[in-house]
Amino acid sequence: MTLRERTAQLAEKCQIKHDYYDNNAEGAQKSKYLWSPDLAPVEPARRTWGWYNFMNLWISASFNVNTWQLAGSYVAAGLAWWQGWLCIWAGYILTGVFVSLGGRMGAMYHISFPVAIRSSFGIYGSIWPVLNRIVLAIIWYSVQGWIGGQCLYLMLCAVWPGTARIPNHLPASAQTDTKHMMCFFLFWLCQLIGIYFPLHKVRHLYTIKAVTAPIGGIAFAAWVAVRAGHGAGPVMSQSSSLKGSALTWTVIQAIISSLDNFSTFILNDSDFSRFSKKPSNALWSQLITVPVSFSVTSLVGLIVSSCSATLYGSPLWNPLDVLERFVTDSPSSSDRAGVFFLALIFVYAQAMTNLTGANSAGSDFTALFPRYLNIRRGGYVAAVLSFACVPWKLLSSSNNFLAYVGAYSVFLSAFVGPYFCDYFIVRRGHLAVDQLYSNKSSDLYWGLGGFGINAYVGYLCGLIFNIVGVAGAMGASIPIGAWYLYQFNFLMGVFVSGGVYYLMCRFGPFKVECNKGWNETGDAALVPSIMINGVDPYAHARGDSEASVVVETKDSEVQSVVETFKH
C-alpha cells in the first residue's frame, strides 16, 4: 500500500460517522463542508436549557480572576472606587444587551454561530469570521488555563508547603519556573476531562459553580476584612485623581473595555442559546444576569484589594497574590485550610470558564472541518493549540497583553455589525435555515462565489475607522483625535460596519431585499432540513434509530408537519 493510499485510509477512518452520510451519498457530497451533526439545528431532545441555566452560566463565568481585578484596574487608572464600579455597571448593561442580541438567532432557530453568520458573510465567506473568533478563543483559553494552574499551585502550597521550594530546572529565557509549569500542566490535563462531555449534559456543573463561587467570594472578602480590622481599607475612601477631560475619557475607556472583554461571547452566544427550551429563556436571563453578576463580583474583588492595602501597605489587585501572602507569611493550620478551600473554588471556577471557551472554539472548528471535527474533537484541538500559546509569556507584560486583546476586539466588532444588521434589520428575523447548508448559486445566502460582498465591505469600513487607534494601542505615535475616536472602538466597529452593510444591501450592486415585517418563523424554518432525501439527520444524535419525521414541503414554504418519535 502506497503512502497516498495509507493517508487516504487514515482520513477515511477519522471521518465522523452519521446515518445521513451513510445513507445519502449525494446529499453528503453536497454538504461535505457545510453540514455535520454538530452544525445541524439542535433537535428538541437536546433543548434542555431553561432560564436558570443561562443565569448560572453567567454567574459562574463572572467569578474568575480577571473579573476580580476589573474595578481595581480602574482605580489604579485614577478613578474613585464608586466611579470605577459605576463604569462596570454601565459597560456590562451594554454587554448584556449585545449578548442577548447575539444569542437571538440561536434561541429562535437553534443554530450555532458558524451557521448563523453564513446569512450575512456568505456560505464560504463565513470561514474568515469563524477563524478570527477561534484565534481569540484559543488565546483566552490559554490565559485562563495558566491562571487556573496558579490556583492549583496555591492549593498544593496549602497542603504541602514544600511545593514552593521545588527547584527550578528551566532556563531564564522560559520566563517561568518548574513548579508553576508543573501546576499549569496538571490543570491543563484535568481540563481535558470536561471537554469530553457535550454542553447540554454539563449544565448542572455551572449550577454548582454559581452556588459555590459567590459563597467563596463573600467568605474571602469577609476573611480579609477581619484580618485588616480597620473597615474597608484605604482604597474605598480615596477620591478620584482625575479631573475634566482626563476623567471623561477614562470613564469612556472603562465602559467600552467591558464590551472589548466580552467581544467573543457577543459574537458566538448562539452556541449556547441554541440549547434553550424556548427563546425567552435566553433573553431576559442573560440581559439581567450579565451586568448584575459581573458588577457584584468586581465589587467583592475591590473590597479584598482595598483591605489588602491595610495589611501590606499597598493594594494587591490580584486575589491570588493575596492568597499567596496568606500561605507564605507564617500561616497557621486554619490559614492553610482557608487558602486550600478558596484556591479549590478558584480552580473549579477557572476550569468551568475554560469549559465554556473550549465548547465555543470546538463549535467553530466544526465549521472548518465538519467531516472530521465535532465539538469534542475541536475542543481538544483548541486545548493543544492553547498550550502552544505559551501564556506565561503573554502575561509577562500584562499591559501589552490587554492592549492586544482590546485591539483584537476591533476585528470582532466589525463582524458583529453586518451579523446583527442582517438579522434584525435586513432579514427582519427570518432565516431560510435549509439554505444555510446549501451551496446552490441560486440560494439566498450564496452571494458572489459563496461570499457576502456587502458584509465584507462593511467589515473593511469598520476596520478602517479603528485601524489607526489599533496602531496607537500597540505603541505607535498617532494623532490625539484618532486616539479619542479609538476609545469607542467596539461601538464604532459595530455601527460603522453595520451601517455600511445596510447601505450596500439597499443601494449597492449586490442588493438584498429587506423584509417589510418582523418574521421570526422559528421551528417552522427547520423543517426542510429535518428530512433530507428521506433520511433523518437527527436520529443518530437522539439515539433513536426508529424515529421518523413525515414532512411535505416546498423550497419556499412549509405546508404541513407531522413528527412522530419513538419516545
In residues, how long is the chain?
567
- Cα dihedral sign, 462-133-470-250: positive
Residue with cell 467583592: 300
Look up the pTM and report it.
Answer: 0.84
- Cα dihedral sign, 105-106-109-113: positive
H or E element that contains 430: none
H or E element that contains 311: helix 284-312
Distance CA 47, CA 64 (A): 28
Domains of the chain: 48-389 (1.10.4160.10)
| pLDDT tens for the chain, residues 1 to 567 | 787 777 777 777 777 765 554 444 444 444 567 888 888 899 888 898 999 999 998 998 888 887 887 777 788 788 888 888 999 999 999 999 999 999 999 999 999 999 999 999 999 999 999 999 898 889 889 989 999 999 999 999 999 998 989 999 988 888 889 999 999 999 999 999 989 988 778 888 888 988 998 899 899 989 988 888 766 667 777 788 888 888 999 899 889 988 888 888 899 899 999 999 999 999 999 999 999 999 999 888 888 888 888 888 888 888 888 999 998 887 788 989 999 999 999 999 999 989 988 988 888 898 888 888 888 999 999 999 998 888 888 776 555 666 666 677 888 999 999 999 999 999 999 999 989 988 888 889 999 999 999 999 999 999 998 888 888 877 788 888 888 888 898 999 999 999 999 999 999 899 888 888 888 877 665 544 444 444 454 444 444 444 433 333 333 333 333 332 233
pLDDT of residue 403: 66
DSSP string of 136-184, one letter each residue? HHHHHHHHHHHHHHHHHHHHHHHH-GGGGGPPP-S-GGGSS-HHHHHHH
